[in-house]
Structure 1
Amino acid sequence: MSLSRRDFTKSALAAAALAATGAVTLPRAASAATYTAYVMAYFTESPSMQAADYGLHLAVSRDGLNWTPLNQNNPVVTPTAGQQGLRDPQVFRKNDGTFVVIATDLKGTNFGSNSPYLHVWDSVDLTNLTGYRLVRFQTTNDHTWAPTVFWDATRGQYAVVYSAADIFRVNYTSDFRSVSAAQTFFSPGFGVLDADIVVDGGTTYMYYKNLSDGRLYGARSSTGAPSSFTTYTGGLRQGGGIEAPLLLRTNDGGWRLWGDSYSPVNNDYYAWSSGDIGGGSWAVLNQRDYTPPLNAKHGSMTGITEAEYNALLNRWGAPSWVRLKCSSHPDHFVRHLNGVGRIDPYPFDPFRDQLWRLVPGLADSAGVSFESVNVPGSYLRHYNYAIRLAANDNSSTFRADATFYRTAGLADPAWSSFRSYNYPTYHLRHRDYLLRIDPLSSSSSQADRNDATFRVTS
């Protein structure tokens, strides 16, 4: 189960056309704002649920691909009513330029515990969440999952669409406090889950999961009205299973489609890109190109201004730790396991094994050392060329073995490589997933240089 998410942006031309018809007048903040970055809302889970947290998490990104979790990847707010937990949060920019956050009322994975309510918050710029309330959307006992919001210009109201009993239902609202009676929105004759809806010009697009074949599909409508959508794409899938389609109109006018893994034991997100959502053709993005927030599940994304980006970072703060993503295996991250340095496919538990404090080098402050977050005082060091996690004994040998110089990546200068302090021609790399130091240079094989190149991320 996941939330549909959408980036609600209107071109000035579309805004003017709507205003001319008298259907709606968009405030200047919504029609004229320049978005330079993105915000993401999500909750967290990991394979053995060590990271399970059903509060509202936020992350920011410059490119909409690589994300910085805020508040140390802790929730910025947690529901206090209903089931006192959320899933599938959507952050949506309203016509007045402010935000509403709306989410499933469900804590954990007890999917048989149906709630007719959704959690709702208001916010000017997401530095504070106010007006918290639990709003009832259904009179039945069906679940009310994965809400998505779009502006229905014909009605002059917001539509809130959600998964209920293997179909989509909709309620209309002007204030996200009182809502119309629920009605069927999309019932194609097979089970569906997780709608995400965006409006582009005169067309409303909806992407959803087809439960009969486990793939993501796109449908569209010229009105956005209930029962007016026609599927126009083939099924999309990456990995062992996928759900939670997430549509993002990028700030440069392109499109991205994200899909969440079917369960937390698989990779958390996969992505596609397209220059034309109406064409229905999507190109798979390489996992080297994107890094979702740590343990993020079923999120939503939207464009934000430079001022909003800076306000979010100032209010909630960036992580005090980093992760190292491997160039040759972009779904793998550096971790320690039983005292051994290695790379493993993410996600995994204990998830904190991949978190490092990048501190000044123990032997030379111009270099760096990697201190474990969950084993404080222990560092990655080489011993007989193999990388181990060991407690700092403050000897000169330990300090030297645990110090590296960060350089431009041997395989990609936009990434990083790490040269040994006391073996100056040796670099940190993995071989058969185990970390070690080996003599490497720009003339080494492409495969070896890839094994020694990492993205420092969060």
Structure 2
Amino acid sequence: MPAPEEELKRTVRTLLALLGPLLLVMLGVPALQGTASAAAPPAGQATRYTMTAFTNSSESNMYVYDSPDATGFTLRKGPAYTPPSALIRDPSIFKHTDGSYYLTYTTDWTGNTIGFARSTDRVNWTFLYDYTIPISGLTRTWAPEWFIDTDGSVNVIVSLTTASTATHFTAYKITATNSALTAWSAPTQLAGIGPNNIDTFVVRVGSTYHAFTKNETTKYIEYATASSLTGPYTILMTGDWAGFGSWVEGPALVQLDNGGWRIYFDGYREGKYWYSDSYDNFATWSTRTEVPGLSGFIRHATVLKETVPGGVTLPTNTTRSLGSVNYPDRYAVVRSDNLGYIDPVSSASGIAVKQSATFTVVPGLADANCYSFRDSSGRYLRHWDFRIRFDSSNGTATFNKDATYCARPGTTAGSVRLESYNYPGRYLRHYNYALRVDPYQNTDTFRADSSFTAVTPWA
């Protein structure tokens, strides 16, 4: 018999995780540092991902979205910013040490300038200035991206060409020489990225700079590393090495709370917007998934991660019952087959039924700032083949992750949605009264199906 879907995926992922990093080490890429320390924010704080994008319908208007999970984004304002002239393509956002948010963006299809704007609240923006890149003969100045190095220096990575057509782009960096971000160093080329690469996005992990860049000739996103921001970079992965597909551009990365990395990219020929996750030194990536609700509308976005006050919490080391928001007479239960459902429970129910709907909420086995749920016999609520079941812990890292869920705001006051720790973007939800972890869907039905209220325990 074939292995269950999730176990088969785990096996494949394990093999790739073993072989992928080995290949990169053989190519001279050190292991990623620091991912093990990633964790969800503590009680009273929450992760917020802010996305800025232009759209298929307008190159002159920027839209702002945010999300608690990097998957389901909510529009905060759109249009949120229109420059006084020309375009706003490829808007990139970061938060400066002065507490303000700053944009840089492509001002036009041709020319030698990039634009800058500022905001105190992420949604209301003020134009600052257009900056002329001081290189003679530039014909196109595209896709500026913020890069803040570990020494605090503020850099912009930008794709430049002097060709008469949109070819032969190379990546350069400019560095702010004052805290007001009004003066910039001379441009320095990122050696090794070229001769025709655009939309270069860089992240630093440990002592290594990791660059994701579109090869404008092949139309694939490539991967390169260097020990210095300006290189020389070695391009390690070409073609469809990650399964992102062709005719894709605008890569933008952000680290998730569980230590993984998420890349967003623009499938401009298909008219879709994708994301994919990696947990193994950028060697392998999950199957690309459309960004719910935004795919087909947004273009070339970047995402800023912050820790902010707020969020939702559950009381730990205490018993609770989890009531369905949209079926208020039903509660999460474990049946005799060890699987999870939502069943009717009332004061007239027998003690066994009430006991099946009562769980101890404990700090998450994989992350103490998230949650795990234990039934009266000591078994944990975990997913297997994306179905919810209750099993005794075997002490493995896989089990701990399967049994850990991070709280996100639910659809009603006081309710929560529980996101899978090791499958970000999947939520505990009921379907035909069975409990599963399913991919987030941008529908009211899904949000209601995945919302629960922790109430006084039935037993």
In structure 2, do the counterparts of structure 1 residues 454 and 254 end up closer, same or farther at CA, with 3 Å as the change threshold? closer
Closer/same/farther in 2, CA of residues 454 and 255 from structure 1, 3 Å limit: closer
Q: In structure 2, what is the Cα distance between the partners aligned to 1:197 and 1:35?
A: 25
CA contact (8 A) 2:203 2:211 kept: yes
SS at match of 1:144: strand
| Structural mapping, 1:276-291, within 5 Å | 276=280, 278-287=281-290, 290-291=292-293
Match of 1:80 in 2: 84
- 2:200 is matched with 195
Task: Measure the CA separation in 1 of the matches of 2:130 and 2:311.
Answer: 28
Do the aligned residues in 1 keep the contact of 2:272 with 2:296 (CA within 8 Å)?
A: no
By how many angstroms is 1:249 displaced? 1.2
Structure 1 residue 52 corresponds to structure 2 residue 58 = yes
The aligned residue for residue 346 of structure 1 is none
How much has 1:309 moved relative to structure 2?
Answer: 9.3
What's the counterpart of residue 273 of structure 1?
A: 277
State yes or no: 1:455 paired with 2:458: no
Residues 306, 198 of structure 1: alpha-carbon distance in 2 compared, 3 angstrom cutoff: same
Paired residue for 1:305?
307
Letter in 2 for 1:69: L
2:141 partner amino acid: T
Q: Which of 96, 99, 102 is residue 100 of structure 1 equivalent to?
A: 102
Deviation at 1:292, TM superposition (A): 2.9
Match of 1:185 among 190, 207, 213: 190
* 2:224 aligned to which of 219, 233, 238: 219
Match of 1:323 in 2: none
Q: Partner letter of residue 262 of structure 1?
A: Y
Q: Secondary structure at the match of 2:156?
A: strand
Report the 3-state secondary structure (helix = DSSP H, G, I; strand = E; otherwise coil) of the residue aligned with 1:283.
coil
The code of the aligned residue for 2:61 comes to G
User: 1:388-442 deviations in whole A, cap 9, x for unaligned?
Assistant: xxxxxxxxxxxxxxxxxxxxxxxx996799xxxxxxxxxxxxxxxxxxxxxxx78
Matched letter for residue 259 of structure 2: G
CA contact under 8 A between 1:215 and 1:236: conserved in structure 2?
A: no
- 2:227, 2:61 → 1: CA distance? 36
**Which of 27, 42, 51 lines up with 1:40 in the alignment?**
51
Length, aligned pairs only = 279
1:41-440 → structure 2 map (5 Å cutoff)? 41-45=52-56, 51-71=57-77, 74-81=78-85, 83=86, 85-106=87-108, 111=109, 114-130=110-126, 132-140=128-136, 141-153=138-150, 157-165=153-161, 166-174=169-177, 175-224=180-229, 226-234=230-238, 235-239=241-245, 241-263=247-269, 266-276=270-280, 278-287=281-290, 290-292=292-294, 295-307=297-309
Residue 199 of structure 2 aligns with an amino acid whose one-letter code is: D
Residue 35 of structure 1, CA deviation: 5.2
Q: Is the 8 A contact 1:91 1:302 kept in 2?
A: yes
The one-letter code sitting in structure 2 at the alignment partner of 1:205 is H
Letter in 2 for 1:66: G
Give, in whole Å, the separation in 1 of the partners of 2:94 and 2:197: 22
The alpha-carbon deviation at position 98 of structure 1 amounts to 3.6
Unaligned runs of 5+ in 1: 1-9, 15-32, 46-50, 311-411, 418-440, 444-449
Distance (Å, rounded) in 1 between the aligned partners of 2:293 and 2:195? 33
Instruction: Supply the distance in 2 between the matched residues of 1:413 and 1:133 (Cα, whole angstroms).
Output: 43
Q: Is contact 1:168–1:187 with CA below 8 Å preserved after alignment?
A: no
Identity of aligned residues (%): 21
Relative distance call for 1:255 and 1:267 in structure 2 (3 A) is same
Native 8 Å contact 2:94 2:304 kept in 1:
yes
5+ residue gaps in structure 2?
1-32, 38-43, 162-168, 313-425, 448-459
Kept in 1, the 8 Å contact 2:243–2:288? The answer is no
- State the secondary structure of the residue aligned to 1:38: strand
Distance 1:272 1:115, change over 3 A: same
Quickly say closer, same or farther: Cα 1:35–1:115, change in 2 above 3 A.
Answer: farther
Which residue number corresponds to residue 319 of structure 1?
Answer: none
Deviation at residue 214 of structure 1 after TM alignment:
1.5
1:111-160 Cα distance to aligned partner (Å, 9 max, x none):
3xx22111112233314324622122233323111011212456x63221
- Aligned letter for 1:298? H
Give the structure 2 partner of residue 366 of structure 1. none
Question: Which letter maps to 1:168?
Answer: A
> Structure 1 segments of 4 or more deviating over 4 A?
10-14, 307-310, 412-417
What is the TM-score with the length of structure 2 in the denominator?
0.53
Aligned residues of 1:145 and 1:164 also touching (Cα < 8 A): yes
Closer, same or farther: CA 308–164 of 1 in aligned 2, 3 Å: farther
- Following the alignment from structure 1 to structure 2, what is the Cα–Cα distance between the partners of residues 88 and 201? 27
Inter-CA distance 77–286: structure 2 relative to 1 (3 Å threshold):
closer
Question: What TM-score, normalized by structure 1, do the two folds share?
Answer: 0.53
For 1:454 and 1:184, how far apart are their aligned partners in 2?
41
* Alignment partners' CA distance in 1, 2:193 and 2:103: 28
User: Contact 2:252–2:264 at 8 Å: present in 1 too?
Assistant: yes
Over the residues paired in the alignment, what is the CA RMSD in angstroms?
Answer: 3.7
* Alpha-carbon distance in structure 2 between the residues aligned to 1:144 and 1:124: 27
Equivalent residue letter for 2:286: A
How much does 1:243 deviate?
1.1
Q: 1:413–1:255: structure 2 CA closer, same or farther, 3 Å change rule?
A: closer
- SS state at 1:177 partner: coil
